[in-house]
């Protein structure tokens, strides 16, 4: 038989987005909508196994209604089984964790929590699979939880031996202090499993998968901030009886966070920028736009209008105009002000320092403000 796995992780349901008060509720809600989309997508693709490789929830203390909602969404999976691994944000502590107790109570029979470091045979779910979970039991740990698998004899009568873990991978994940269950490729390979499905790092791994790859990070399916630059990703991984792997990357996010940088020095630059964001492609984009350059006066005055126009096309904009200034040259100063006059002297002195354009702009604006 072949196996078709839908792999996701790092939904972080319950994130607050307090830094985005204008769109806070939309961003919070989007994570649930994305989970629903993932399940529908997995159903549509006829996946057998739906794997959440950790951090389904953002925290262990999360509103009960959210837990129930997530459990119900996952229960809508029409394949054989949903497995949910507790990650470092929603870690499990055996016998004392309300989160997973409520989740278990609220989910259907086709949802299994991978809360123990022990082999999980899935033949009860008509899957010729042994899962080897490495659940998290705390937010931080300088030791990974995969060591128990290494020396374990593998049942040769079972076709697929699949590891599910959550933590950082050396060379891929930014875990400088080694505090997120750090793993290495060789450690994972030493476990001699057919494939590893891992969560934690919010970007996808491998970047360009080949049939030789055995370690997969799905990335977060719903971007969660300006440090997350992709559109939300997941994997569908097909494995045939010969253990040949065929991975497909999916784009899954509702919203995307983008950084933009534009250098505006002339009218055409402004037009180009406006044009760039004029399409409806950006209706679900949160954009951090950093403007640089020195614009002629007339163009500079159009900036608020430009912002308004671009903002209309976006879901959210962080407008960073701290480095864009009016083009105030010595010529302009000479043209506008009498030599020896106070504004002429002040602006000329500031214009001497090519780095101090911000002061020049402020002074220029102020002079125009007080000019009668």
Partner 1 sequence: MIITNIKLNPFGGLINKEIDFEKGLNVIIGPNEAGKSTIFNAIQKVFFTPSKLDKRAFKNEIERFIPLGGGDTIKVELQFLFNGETFTLKRTWGASPSSELVLPKGTLTNEDAIVSKLESLLPAKEGTYKSVLMTYQSGLSKTLDDLIHDPETLYSLGDIIRRSILETDGVSIDRFKQKIDKLFIDHFSRWDNAKNFPEKGRGIENPWKKDVGYILESYYENENVKSYYESALEYENNLDEINQSISNCQRIITEKQTYLQENKKAVEAARKLQRMNAELEAAQLKIKTLSDVNNKWPVLENEITKLERESPQWDVRLSALKKEKEEAEQLENKKKLLEKFGRVDKRKKELEVAEKEFESIMKLTDDSLEVIRDADATIKELKASIGAGKLTINFTPKRDLTLDIQKDLEDSYFHEVKGNETIQFEAGGRLKIEHSDWALEVASGKESVEINLQNYKEAEKKLHDLFEEYGVESLDAVIELNKSYNRHFGDVKSARKNLDDELGTESYEELENKIHELGPEKKTRPVAVIVEELVGFDKDIEKKKEELTQSQEQIRKYINEYESKENLLTIYAEAAKQKKDASENIKALAPLLENTDDIDLFIEKYEKTSEELESEKENRTGGLLQRAELEKNMPEQSAEEFKKQLAETEEQFQAVLRKGKAIARIKDMAFEISEQMNSGLYDELKNDLEKFVSALTNGRYAQVELEEGLPQGFIRDDGELLTYELLSAGTKDVLAMALRLSMAGHFLKNADGFLIMDDPLVDLDPERQKKAAELLRKYAEEKQILIFTCHPSHAELLEGHQIML
Binding-site ranges for partner 1 (CB under 8 A): 12, 15-19, 58-61, 89, 91, 93-96, 137-140, 224-227, 267, 298, 318, 320, 322, 333-346, 349-350, 356, 358-359, 362-363, 366-367, 369-372
Q: Are 13 and 58 in contact (CB under 8 A)?
A: yes
Identity of the residue, 185 or 359, whose beta carbon is nearer to partner 1 in the bound complex? 359
Q: Evaluate whether 186 touches 75 at the Cβ level (below 8 Å).
A: no
Closest alpha carbon to 89 in 18, 30, 166, 142: 166
- C-beta closer to partner 1: residue 1 or 322: 322
Tokens of 341: 């006059």
Please report how close the Cβ of residue 83 comes to partner 1 at its closest, in angstroms. Answer: 22
Select 10 or 120, whichever has its Cβ closest to partner 1: 10
CB of 322 to partner 1, least distance (A): 5
Q: Closer to partner 1 at the Cβ: 10 or 194?
A: 10
For residues 201 and 166, what is the distance between their CA atoms, to the nearest angstrom?
A: 9
Q: Rounded to the nearest whole angstrom, what is the least distance from the CB of residue 236 to partner 1 in the complex?
A: 27
Tell me how far, at minimum, the Cβ of 292 lies from partner 1, in Å.
13
Q: Is the dihedral of CA 84, 85, 88, 92 positive or negative?
A: positive
Q: How far is CA 357 from CA 42, 102, 293, 324, in A?
A: 54, 58, 10, 9
Q: How far is the CB of 71 from partner 1 (least distance, A)?
A: 21
The structure tokens 């389904």 sit at 56
Closer to partner 1 by Cβ: residue 6 or 364: 364
Residue whose CB is less far from partner 1, 17 or 172: 17
Min dist CB 174 to partner 1, Å, is 12
Nearer to partner 1, 152 or 359 (CB): 359
Count the neighbouring beta carbons within 10 Å of the beta carbon of residue 238.
16
Are the C-beta atoms of residues 323 and 294 closer than 8 Å to each other? no
Q: Least distance from C-beta 224 to partner 1, angstroms?
A: 8
| CA 60 – CA 44 distance, rounded (Å) | 31
Residues 231 and 34: their CA atoms lie apart, in Å, by 12
Phi and psi torsions of 3, nearest 5°: -130, 135
């Amino acid at each position: 038989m072949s196996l078709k796995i839908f792999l996701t992780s790092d939904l972080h349901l319950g994130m607050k987005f307090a830094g985005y008060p204008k769109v806070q509720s939309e961003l919070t809600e989007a994570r649930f909508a994305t989970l629903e989309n993932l399940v529908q997508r997995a159903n549509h693709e006829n996946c057998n196994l739906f794997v959440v490789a950790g951090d389904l929830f953002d925290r262990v203390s999360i509103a009960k209604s959210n837990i129930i909602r997530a459990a119900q969404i996952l229960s809508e999976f029409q394949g054989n089984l949903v497995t949910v691994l507790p990650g470092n944000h929603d870690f499990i502590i055996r016998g004392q964790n309300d989160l997973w107790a409520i989740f278990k109570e609220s989910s259907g029979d086709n949802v299994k929590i991978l809360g123990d470091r022990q082999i999980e045979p899935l033949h009860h779910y008509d899957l010729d699979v042994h899962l080897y979970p490495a659940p998290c039991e705390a937010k931080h740990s300088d030791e990974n939880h995969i060591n128990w698998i290494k020396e374990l004899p593998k049942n040769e009568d079972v076709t697929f031996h699949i590891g599910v873990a959550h933590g950082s991978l050396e060379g891929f994940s930014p875990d400088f202090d080694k505090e997120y269950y750090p793993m290495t490729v060789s450690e994972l390979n030493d476990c001699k499993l057919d494939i590893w499905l891992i969560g934690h790092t919010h970007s996808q791994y491998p970047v360009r998968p080949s049939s030789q790859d055995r370690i997969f990070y799905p990335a977060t399916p719903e971007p969660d901030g300006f440090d997350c630059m992709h559109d939300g990703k997941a994997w569908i991984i097909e494995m045939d009886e010969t253990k040949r792997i065929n991975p497909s990357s999916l784009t899954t996010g509702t919203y995307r966070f983008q950084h933009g940088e534009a250098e505006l020095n002339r009218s055409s630059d402004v037009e180009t920028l406006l044009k760039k964001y004029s399409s409806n492609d950006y209706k679900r984009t949160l954009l951090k736009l950093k403007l640089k350059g020195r614009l002629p006066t007339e163009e500079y005055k159009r900036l608020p209008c430009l912002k308004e126009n671009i903002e209309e096309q976006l879901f959210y904009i962080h407008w960073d105009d701290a480095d864009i200034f009016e083009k105030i040259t010595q010529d302009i100063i000479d043209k506008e002000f009498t030599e020896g006059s106070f504004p002429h002297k002040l602006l000329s002195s500031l214009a001497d320092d090519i780095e101090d354009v911000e002061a020049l702009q402020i002074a220029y604006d102020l002079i125009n403000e007080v000019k009668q």
